[in-house]
Amino acid sequence: QRILWLEDVAKKLTQEREAFAIMLAKEVAKPIAFSRIEVDRCVETIKLTVLELANLSGETIPTDIMPSGKKTLAYYRREPVGVVACITPFNFPLNLVAHKIAPALGAGNTVVLKPTPEAPMTAYMLAKLFVDSEFATKDALSVVYGDAEVGSTLVKSPIPRVISFTGSVPVGNIIMSQAGIKKVSLELGGNAATYIDKSADLATAAARCAFGAFYNSGQVCISLQRVYVNEEVYEEFAELIAEETNKLKVGSPYEDDTFMGPLIDDEARHRTKSWIASAKNEGARVIAGGDEIEGIFPPTVMADVTDEMKIICEEVFAPIVSLVAVPGYETAIEKMNDSPFGLQFSIFTNDLKMTQNFIEDAQCGGVVINDIPTLRFDVQPYGGSKLSGVGREGPKWALEEFTEIKSIVIC
């Protein structure tokens, strides 16, 4: 029944693709082309959950390896936890909701969803597809709206057995302190970095880095923020990424060829301007963007950034990427790891040994070879180390998070 439920929602969502895309553009100013992609990803996330539900099972435990267990049968099974509270952010207000509620409902739980205040209608439209389905489990999904006080009430309540949150580190810390004895899954901030080796295809790397830094206005936990470039190719790469950045169309989210729209609110815009001004005062150079255009902050490339500057130390969550020249891989990986965040890193290189070292050395939840750290497939485990969070998302891992193991012994 639950599989039929999810399949029905995926089908209806596909049919209403354009309506959902327009709502995304209205609520969070996501360019319409990327809004459509988010709807498609949401459909895929639900379908992937259906596939993983078929594999959600326990296994037999070989008690006969112990003398005392010769005449027993033991196994374990997975059961729903009960109630799951899901708190979701503004940057992917459709797909990140699906990443939580589809596995939670699919596993047989009841869900309380608190979506971001910036995109209430997007969440409502998706929830309505679930609730109105002919295969829906009655009263299994509730949506509550409100500010931090509502979220805090949910977190403190003894009723939810799992809190699944995507958002900022400060709020994640508060949730951990308030949750009490229950499962807590946190997908928090990042400070994604890449290294451009001198053996890399610089033109390809520059094009991909521009995409990874400025996609969704840089408002992604794995937006490329730090680019460490081998000093032998630093100037050439800087020119290439500036050229690629200047090609990106900034403007109305309703135009099909717009790459980047405005930031989520004025507070984000003012913070971005302040951080860039601070970096310039400390010696960094703006080589692309930097000046607001009709209320929209453009994609901005900063060169000659140093380790102490705020735009490289903290998560910017804005369309800013920083370039740093380094003598080689060893310095680059040291600087990458010298961060309180550990979500995703990447490397561009044709050196196999360097690739192997990078996979071992990178202190983060995911690495990407010869592409941007912004790359994420919804089927994979997703999450980080350090301040980047606790637990993993992705349908398979979310299903495990939203279930409990029950051990059975038959004598």
Which of the residues are catalytic? Answer: 187, 221
CA-wise closest residue to 288 among 252, 233, 239, 324: 239
Residue 292 has a CB neighbour count (10 Å cut-off) of 13
Helices (H) and strands (E) in the chain, counts: 14, 18
The CA distance from 230 to 234, in Å, is 6
**Contacts of residue 398, Cβ cutoff 8 Å, sequence gap at least 6:** 49, 99, 100, 103, 104, 164, 185, 392
Bridge partners of residue 409, in order along the sequence: 74
The CA distance from 137 to 110, in Å, is 9
The CA distance from 246 to 301, in Å, is 10
Indicate the helix (H) or strand (E) that contains 196. strand 192-196
Inter-residue contact 101 to 107 (CB < 8 Å)? no
**Contacts of residue 4, Cβ cutoff 8 Å, sequence gap at least 6:** 135
Bridge partners of residue 320, in order along the sequence: 300
The CA distance from 371 to 108, in Å, is 37
Sign of CA dihedral 275, 278, 279, 280: positive
How large is the C-alpha radius of gyration of the chain? 23
User: Helix 32-53 and helix 17-28: axis angle, to 10°?
Assistant: 120
Cα dist. 279→25, 274, 375 in Å? 31, 9, 27
The CA distance from 187 to 221, in Å, is 9
